[in-house]
């Protein structure tokens, strides 16, 4: 009887140990949330860099804003990924006397959930747009 209780005790300790081990590593969903948050933070930083580059370009060009390619060409902003960075796609639209830059998740819900927008006012806007671009009417970050 003592031997059977000892075996049962060992099995119980082993079961508790295994249960504790299985909760150790993060689940993929938790990691995905962390990656998404990091991607969104990087996208905001990138849009701030684009807005600063636009200000430099405007001064150098006598009042005009530049496309993303022009900003890269002048080396005002780096673009090692041809318009993509950390799971986001970046676009710059230039209109007479203004610019609009957007960052949209490449894979909505995986690489990011919010889209971002900045223009010559240098105010970043963001919203969950289900993969569509954000606009100036979305909430400020």
| Residue 89 belongs to a domain | yes
| Residue 54 belongs to a domain | yes
Q: Which two tokens stand for residue 54?
A: 């636009």
What is the tens place of the pLDDT at every residue in 2-20?
454 344 344 443 333 434 4
Domain housing 121? 29-127
| Residue 79 belongs to a domain | yes
User: Of all helices (H) and strands (E), which one includes residue 98?
Assistant: strand 98-105
Measured between alpha carbons, how far is 65 from 57 in angstroms, rounded to an integer? 6
- Kindly report the pTM of this predicted structure: 0.76
Q: DSSP H helical segments within the chain, as ranges?
A: 2-22, 28-61, 68-73
What is the tens place of the pLDDT at every residue in 29-71?
565 888 899 999 999 999 999 999 999 999 999 999 999 999 9
Measured between alpha carbons, how far is 113 from 132 in angstroms, rounded to an integer? 10
Please give the pLDDT value at position 86.
73
Q: Tell me which DSSP letter residue 26 carries.
A: P
| Residue 49 belongs to a domain | yes
């Amino acid at each position: 009887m003592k031997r059977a209780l000892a075996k049962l005790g060992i099995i119980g300790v082993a079961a508790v140990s295994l249960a504790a081990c299985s909760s150790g590593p993060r689940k993929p969903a938790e990691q995905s949330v962390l990656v998404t948050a990091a991607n969104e933070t990087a996208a905001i930083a990138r849009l701030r860099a684009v807005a600063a580059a636009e200000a430099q370009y405007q001064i150098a060009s006598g009042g005009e804003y530049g496309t993303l390619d022009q900003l890269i060409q002048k080396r005002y902003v780096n673009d090692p990924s041809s318009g993509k960075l950390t799971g986001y796609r970046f676009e710059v639209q230039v209109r007479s006397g203004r610019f609009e830059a957007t960052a949209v998740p490449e894979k909505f819900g995986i690489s990011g959930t919010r889209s971002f927008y900045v223009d010559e006012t240098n105010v970043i806007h963001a919203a969950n747009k289900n993969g569509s671009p954000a606009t100036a009417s979305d909430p400020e970050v």
